Amino acid sequence: MSILNKKKIKKLIILINFLITPIIFNSIFTLNSFSKSQVDNNNDFNNDGFNKGGEIKISKPVSQQIWWNKSFQWRNPIITTNPYNIDLTDYMTYIRINHTALVEPGKIQDDLGDIRVVENGQLRNYYFKTLYPSGDYAFIWFETDIYANCAEDDIYLYYGNNQVGPSAVYYKIERAGIHWWGFEEVSNSSTEDSVGNIVGTLNNLDADDWEDGLIEDYSLDFDSSNNEYIQLASDPLPSGQFSISLWFNADSIDGTIFDMTQNPVYFYIGLRNSRIEWYYEDSDDAEVQLNYEFPISPTSKWYHVVVTGG
């Protein structure tokens, strides 16, 4: 995989999902533009209420729900903010926690089997990935409902129960997609896949190429003149249908944003004369090419692109 030309990519979030649909081939192209002030951190949600002095030791019953019992010793509030003019239902967002800091005092399992996400008294679907013990952080993805232009404080993360493992009902490994590169390392020579396990190696990129991002803190600035790109350790796509999602901010009206050859499939997203293009070719030589003309110059502005195919 390579990403070339001078583009800032936030979350080459190649978010790759299995698509449940009977259509043999489908290609959908959506494009949204946002200024930085329109988007809060953590996948459009501001979760600053977590892990900043909000941790509560549970010493008496706090729920009448069947799932809860006193062996869950801790809970922590998660504050979410929806800045948009639309209600969101079962929206998948995430938080990042310092797993090491909770494991060392014995507050949480080292495999995160004891976490539960509860919204308005109800368990929610969730997924997690931890870097512990090789790294400090863990990512916890969960579904939430939130009204337009609202901040809500009815979500809690429960943990501290040595008698349980991941919920057989609510732990949804496929719900968060299968890969997610967030580019939050700042100075590493590689970038972590916070959902799957495919590490991306940075080629010809250095600490100066990490810049302010749109979602969370950082993005990567790729320059074709320096042959800057990311090489994945293995092929990321499943067989069958898939979707890819990414944010980009271009400095020019021409050039590659993202391309990948996964024999026998080739696909490409890029700019040409202020138009954005999506190209897909499979083993049967079936070719699909879509393009969209920007109403204004595509440069110096963040855009969200989602494509699906398979």
* Pair of tokens at residue 201: 């190696």
Peptide bond into 264 cis (omega under 30): yes
* Ramachandran bin of 66, using left for φ above 0, alpha for ψ from -120 to 50, beta for the remaining angles: alpha
pLDDT digits (tens, 9 = 90+) for 161-217: 998 999 999 998 766 578 888 888 877 888 888 778 888 899 998 888 888 887 777
3-state secondary structure 203-270: ECCCHHHEEECCCCCEEEEECHHHCCEEEECCCCCCCCCEEEEEEEEECCCCEEEEEEEECCEEEEEE
Domains 7-39+177-309 and 56-159 share a fold: no
Position 140, amino acid: I
* Pair of tokens at residue 180: 């997610």
Selection from 57-61, 111-115, 151-155 with the highest mean pLDDT: 111-115
User: Using CA atoms in the order 208, 210, 211, 216, what is the torsion angle rounded to 10 degrees?
Assistant: -160
> For 7-39+177-309, CATH number?
2.60.120
- pTM value surpassing 0.75: no
CATH architecture of residue range(s) 56-159: Sandwich (2.60)
Q: Give me the pLDDT at residue 104, please.
A: 93
Position 17, amino acid: N
Going from N- to C-terminal start, the domains of the chain cover 7-39+177-309, 56-159
Give how far the C-alpha of residue 24 lies from the chain's centroid of Cα atoms, to the nearest Å. 26
Tokens 């898939």 correspond to 242
Q: Give me the pLDDT at residue 216, please.
A: 72
54 C-beta neighbours (distance < 10 Å), count: 15
Q: Which residue has the higher pLDDT, 107 or 51?
A: 107
